[in-house]
Amino acid sequence: MGEFITIGKADEVADGDAAAFEVEGTEVAVARVEGKLYAFGDICTHMGCTLVPGGELDGTEITCGCHGSMFSIDTGVVLDGPATQPIEVYPTREVDGEIQIEV
């Protein structure tokens, strides 16, 4: 098991929205859906475009703005191509007004 690190303030991510953070040299996006936080790799596995900003969040699905690949932000699985590889997802929590992910 990894350790949880703080990556930003909880108020930086409104419900139904997402924000991007750089975490130890890796681009990580955090979305809040119905009050729950989800953290996931911010780079589309198809052609390397950022998912946030540029993508479209719809519930727990995000669609890449470049070529339309769709991913689950809960599991990372590809829901629609052209991407074939999943995105990474991270255990996430909110503690004392801060977003923390497990690395």
Question: pLDDT tens-digit profile of 22-39?
Answer: 999 999 999 999 999 999
- Mean pLDDT of the region 82-91: 97
Here the tokens at position 35 are 């009050």
Count of domains forming the chain = 1
What residue numbers bound the domain in which 86 lies? 4-102
Per-residue pLDDT band at 2 (split at 50, 70, 90): confident
- The per-type count for the chain, helices as H runs and strands as E runs, is 0, 11
Residues 98/8, Cβ–Cβ less than 8 Å: yes
User: What's the pTM value of the predicted model, to 2 decimals?
Assistant: 0.94
